């Protein structure tokens, strides 16, 4: 009798170990999923922790009727939908109104829960398929995540599960506790909404070529010299410039140059840029030299890079984001 009990306990322990090993390997892609849903890196971290806690508590009810991955995503989907219930979306300035006149005063809106960048320290999928990895990176880019925020939470979940993770409609319906017909209907509405809000611009590039890397080097040099003509010369003609929590955003080289010249307080030789990738895009932590002789965190720039130049700059002015990127607040 004791021997049979020992065997059962050994089997249960091995099953639990296998489950935990499989679940732990999903952490990064679950973080990307939650980030797409809520638009905040730190909230996504909390939701991933909640997902693992729920999974641990419910492990005795996991009967291998689905894969560990499917089960964990169901828990994560439920956690995200609960967190989003009754909440407004996380916008970027471009999503709140038309582009601004750079000669007018700027308005800071710290009370708005702005969309946040996601530290980009590894692929957002554990798949070995290059196509899946490319899709995973493309669908955490800021423009895509900002567009997702215009959908209802359930539409977001359906779109990400069906079109990003390539789940069958039946599995998606099970994760949301609805029918396949309802899933197909939500997906159709989500697609139509995204088509109306599709991000501007041509193909977004990663800085993999010598030309792209040279462009980024020139951008850093231009900023550290605060050479406004050199900065805007690296932008596309219809480039956009956003600065949450400022409500204003600017469109086109002329308006951006006016802002950098007359509104941006960084002086020539005062800035120092440090590479810090985000959302599958090149990014730079920007520090400014202060009277104590040290460089202090100022803002985080995330760039959208195309073959024609830099088409979008997201300048996040919240210095608390530096901690999320494991960046120091002050450097010598």
How confident is the model over 92-139, as pLDDT tens digits?
A: 999 999 999 999 999 999 999 999 999 986 445 555 455 556 666 788
Q: Concatenate the DSSP letters of all residues of 34-62 into one string.
A: HHHHHS-HHHHHHHHHHHHHHHHHTGGG-
In degrees and rounded to multiples of 5, residue 259 shows phi and psi of: -60, -45
Q: For residues 56 and 76, what is the distance between their CA atoms, to the nearest angstrom?
A: 13
Q: For residues 75 and 330, what is the distance between their CA atoms, to the nearest angstrom?
A: 39
pLDDT at 73 > cutoff 70: yes
Q: For residues 119 and 285, what is the distance between their CA atoms, to the nearest angstrom?
A: 12
**In the predicted model, what is the mean pLDDT of the chain?**
88
Q: pLDDT grade, residue 208 (50/70/90)?
A: confident
Domain that holds residue 3: 1-87
pLDDT at 331 > cutoff 60: yes
Q: Concatenate the DSSP letters of all residues of 294-329 into one string.
A: SEEEEEEEEEEEETTEEEEEEEE--TTHHHHTT--S
> Of the residues 33, 65, 87, which one is the last residue of a structural domain?
87
The whole-number pLDDT of residue 11 equals: 45
The whole-number pLDDT of residue 161 equals: 95
> Of the residues 87, 102, 132, which one is the last residue of a structural domain?
87
pLDDT at 85 > cutoff 90: yes
The whole-number pLDDT of residue 129 equals: 54
Q: For residues 44 and 279, what is the distance between their CA atoms, to the nearest angstrom?
A: 14
Q: Are strands 271-275 and 283-289 parallel, antiparallel or unpaired?
A: antiparallel
Q: Measure CA 224 to chain center.
A: 26
The whole-number pLDDT of residue 14 equals: 64
On whether residue 231 sits in a domain, the answer given is yes
Say which range, 70-74, 80-84, 214-218, has the weakest mean pLDDT: 70-74
On whether residue 149 sits in a domain, the answer given is no
The whole-number pLDDT of residue 286 equals: 97
Contacts 24+ apart (CB under 8 A), 232-236: 232/256, 232/257, 232/260, 234/309, 234/310, 235/309, 235/310, 235/311, 235/313, 236/201, 236/306, 236/308, 236/309, 236/310, 236/311
Q: pLDDT grade, residue 205 (50/70/90)?
A: low
Say which range, 174-178, 197-201, 300-304, has the weakest mean pLDDT: 197-201
pLDDT at 152 > cutoff 70: yes
On whether residue 223 sits in a domain, the answer given is yes
Q: Which CATH number is 51's domain given? A: 1.10.1740.10
On whether residue 196 sits in a domain, the answer given is no
On whether residue 253 sits in a domain, the answer given is yes
On whether residue 182 sits in a domain, the answer given is no
On whether residue 322 sits in a domain, the answer given is yes
Please write the tens of the pLDDT for every residue from 237-296: 999 999 999 999 999 999 999 999 999 999 999 999 999 999 999 999 999 999 999 999
pTM score, two decimals?
0.88
Q: Which CATH number is 314's domain given? A: 3.10.450.50
How many domains are there within the chain?
2
pLDDT at 199 > cutoff 90: no
> Of the residues 23, 57, 87, which one is the last residue of a structural domain?
87
On whether residue 56 sits in a domain, the answer given is yes
């Amino acid at each position: 009798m004791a021997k049979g009990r020992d065997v059962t306990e050994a089997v249960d322990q091995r099953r639990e170990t296998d489950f935990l090993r499989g679940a732990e390997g999903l952490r990064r892609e679950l973080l990307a999923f939650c980030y797409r849903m809520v638009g905040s890196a730190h909230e996504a971290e909390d939701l991933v922790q909640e997902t693992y806690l729920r999974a641990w508590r419910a492990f005795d009810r996991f009967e291998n009727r689905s894969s560990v991955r499917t089960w964990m995503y169901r828990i994560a989907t439920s956690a995200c939908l609960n967190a989003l219930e009754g909440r407004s979306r996380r916008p970027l300035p471009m999503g709140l109104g038309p582009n601004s006149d750079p000669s007018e005063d700027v308005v800071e809106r710290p009370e708005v829960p702005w969309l946040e960048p996601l530290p980009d320290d590894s692929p957002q999928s554990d798949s070995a398929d290059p196509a899946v990895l490319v899709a995973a990176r493309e669908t955490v880019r800021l423009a895509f995540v900002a567009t997702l925020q215009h959908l209802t939470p359930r539409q977001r979940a359906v779109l990400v599960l069906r079109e990003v993770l390539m789940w069958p409609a039946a599995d998606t319906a099970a994760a949301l506790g609805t029918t396949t017909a309802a899933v197909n209907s939500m997906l159709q509405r989500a697609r139509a909404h995204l088509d109306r809000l599709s991000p501007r611009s041509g193909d977004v590039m990663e800085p993999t070529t010598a030309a792209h890397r040279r462009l980024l080097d020139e951008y850093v040099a231009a900023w550290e010299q605060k050479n406004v003509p050199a900065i805007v010369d690296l932008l596309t003609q219809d480039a956009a410039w956003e600065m949450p929590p400022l409500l204003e955003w600017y469109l086109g080289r002329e308006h951006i140059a006016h802002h950098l010249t007359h509104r941006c307080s960084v002086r020539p030789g005062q800035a120092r840029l440090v590479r810090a990738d985000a959302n599958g895009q090149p990014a730079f932590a920007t520090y400014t030299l202060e009277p104590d002789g040290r460089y202090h965190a100022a803002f985080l720039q995330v760039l959208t890079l195309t073959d024609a130049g830099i088409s979008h700059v997201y300048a996040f002015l919240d210095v608390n984001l530096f901690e999320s990127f494991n960046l120091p607040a002050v450097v010598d």
